[in-house]
């Protein structure tokens, strides 16, 4: 690229956007100085006199201000006034975009700006109409690059399948975490709930799910025998375990599990949402399930609340709440998880399929409501696009229905692998049917990389 730095108000983030005003065209506008100090972090800090230093509990980037010093030179006062009015109108927009590309840089960045005013204006007496002015423009923290797209692959609701309940996203570029628009090749239908979570740099030893057939059997819990059940995850000689409540209907440990290696133990250090895939034998039996967990076999267990599955014979996914495994130094013997159950009424049995560990510390969102296939993090929304599975940049529009979202939207960190957890299930398994292990979705990630200031050619 030859010529002056590109500093322009444009209509969109695109390779060839419409330029509304060029602030450095070397004809009427010259930019003497362009200051875009990268955003500073704000910290929440706690400390006391009992220990040295301080604990940073949270941090977030502040906004930024773009400061431009401009010369406006025209052959007449009328032309000068016209150009000045163009600038005033651009500054008065509620939101705007400035494209910035230093001379010699291969790729531009775009600053999203807010309404601004003139910080200073000097009217110089000369044969030509000359004005020198300074403008301070509030902007979002990061400069945005042109849109990138990643075809991630197919994720499955069956943890025993390839990419079971997760896909790994790699190749994200930028300086800081990106806000993606994620599309799925299969709709999440009305009445279904989607759980979406992220975990940066997952350990190769991290279990996503634990099959019930690999857990230790407790009271009245057995292998029912026979061939694998097609509705359940896994394969082999019976791919689930059954609690009969034959000798005890009171709250008792039915299944338990311990990490098998130090690497697996270390990978599980932290906070997780534990989900369990279960099935009652009829729709008249009431049971309650309670999780318990500990850092090692000698430590005291922590107990979660009692959770009641819906009274249905359909396979269902239930939320057992948050489980926190302590720091590595607290876990000399590994992590332990047990599942207790009691039968309050009826004569049915309880089948256990698997438990799912979903990270709760980076980001985790739960979405339900209308049919949707797109999770739009920049817009903090989830919706259905037209055509199906198109993203918001290319879709002709999207349907009016949107999903209700609770929790934090996922972000994708650059230059690392980010694990994207995905599972969808019927919010009411009586009305909308069983938790279907055959459901899959083809995942595509679109995003605009975010930069502190300028963009390298490759990343």
The distance of Cα 259 from the centroid of its chain, to the nearest Å, equals 27
Mean predicted confidence (pLDDT) in 137-166? 96
Mean predicted confidence (pLDDT) in 362-385? 86
Does position 396 have pLDDT exceeding 70, yes or no? no
Does position 312 have pLDDT exceeding 60, yes or no? yes
Domain count, the chain: 3
Which residues span the domain enclosing 49? 6-141
Distance, in Å, from the CA atom of 407 to the CA atom of 421, rounded to the nearest integer, reads 14
How confident is the prediction for the chain on average, in pLDDT?
91
SS3 267: helix
Among residues 326, 341, 359, which one ends one of the domains? 359
Q: Enter the tokens of residue 180.
A: 């993606």
Which of 222-231, 319-328, 404-413 has the lowest average pLDDT? Answer: 319-328
CA angle 222, 226, 227 (to 5 degrees): 120
Among residues 334, 359, 384, which one ends one of the domains? 359
| Residues 399-455: tens digit of each pLDDT | 656 788 888 899 999 999 999 999 999 988 998 999 999 999 999 999 999 999 999
Whole-number pLDDT of residue 1 = 47
| Pair (430, 351) in one structural domain | no
Whole-number pLDDT of residue 328 = 57
Whole-number pLDDT of residue 404 = 86
| Pair (170, 130) in one structural domain | no
| Pair (107, 130) in one structural domain | yes
Percent of the chain scored above 90 by pLDDT? 73
Does position 298 have pLDDT exceeding 90, yes or no? no
> CB-hemisphere CA count at 13 Å for 308?
9
Q: Is 33 part of a structural domain of the chain?
A: yes
Mean predicted confidence (pLDDT) in 198-214? 95
Among residues 330, 359, 388, which one ends one of the domains? 359
| Residues 74-117: tens digit of each pLDDT | 999 999 999 999 999 999 999 999 999 999 999 999 999 999 99
Residue 271 pairs in a beta bridge with 324
DSSP assignment of 51-117 equals: SSS-EEEEEEE--EEEEEEEEEEESSHHHHHHHHHHHHHHHTSSEEEEEEE-TT-SS-EEEEEE--E
Q: Is 96 part of a structural domain of the chain?
A: yes
pTM comes to: 0.89
| Pair (344, 386) in one structural domain | no
């Amino acid at each position: 690229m030859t010529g002056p730095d590109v500093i322009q108000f444009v209509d969109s983030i695109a390779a060839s956007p419409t330029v509304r005003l060029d602030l450095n065209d070397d004809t009427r506008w010259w930019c003497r100085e362009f200051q875009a100090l990268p955003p500073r972090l704000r910290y929440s800090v706690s400390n006391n006199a009992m220990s040295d230093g301080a604990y940073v509990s949270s941090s977030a980037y502040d906004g930024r201000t773009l400061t431009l010093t401009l010369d406006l030179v025209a052959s007449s006062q009328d032309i000068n006034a016209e150009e000045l009015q163009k600038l005033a109108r651009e500054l008065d927009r509620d939101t705007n975009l400035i494209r910035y590309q230093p001379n010699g840089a291969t790729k531009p960045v775009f600053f999203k700006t807010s309404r601004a005013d003139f910080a200073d204006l000097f009217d110089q007496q000369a044969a030509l109409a000359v004005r020198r002015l300074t403008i301070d423009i509030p902007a979002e923290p990061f400069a945005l690059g042109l849109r990138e797209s990643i075809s991630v692959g197919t994720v499955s609701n069956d943890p025993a399948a390839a990419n079971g309940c997760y896909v790994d996203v790699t190749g994200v570029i930028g300086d800081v975490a990106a806000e993606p628009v994620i599309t799925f090749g299969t709709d999440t239908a009305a009445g279904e709930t989607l759980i979406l979570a992220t975990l940066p740099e997952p350990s190769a030893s991290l279990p996503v799910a634990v099959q019930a057939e690999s857990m230790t059997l407790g009271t009245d819990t057995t292998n029912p025998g026979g061939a694998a059940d097609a509705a359940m995850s896994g394969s082999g000689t019976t791919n689930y375990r059954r609690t009969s409540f034959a000798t005890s209907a009171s709250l008792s440990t039915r299944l338990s599990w311990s990490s098998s290696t130090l690497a697996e133990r270390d990978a599980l250090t932290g906070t997780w949402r534990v989900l369990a895939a279960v099935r009652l034998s009829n729709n008249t039996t009431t049971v309650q399930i309670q999780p318990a967990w500990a850092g090692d076999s000698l430590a005291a267990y922590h107990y979660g609340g009692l959770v009641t599955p819906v009274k249905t014979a359909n396979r269902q996914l239930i939320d057992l709440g948050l489980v926190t495994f302590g720091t590595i130094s607290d876990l000399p013997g590994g992590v332990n998880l047990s599942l207790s159950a009691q039968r309050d009424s009826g004569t049915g049995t309880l089948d256990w399929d698997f438990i799912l560990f979903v990270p709760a510390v980076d980001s985790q969102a739960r979405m339900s409501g209308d049919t949707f296939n797109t999770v739009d993090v920049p817009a903090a929304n989830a919706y259905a696009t037209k055509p199906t599975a198109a993203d918001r940049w290319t879709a002709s529009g999207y349907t009016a229905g949107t999903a209700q979202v609770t929790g934090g939207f996922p972000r994708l960190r650059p230059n690392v692998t980010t694990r994207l957890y995905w599972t969808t299930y019927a919010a009411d398994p009586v009305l909308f049917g069983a938790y279907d292990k055959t459901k899959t979705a083809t995942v595509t990630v679109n995003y605009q990389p975010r930069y502190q200031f300028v963009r390298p050619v490759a990343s």
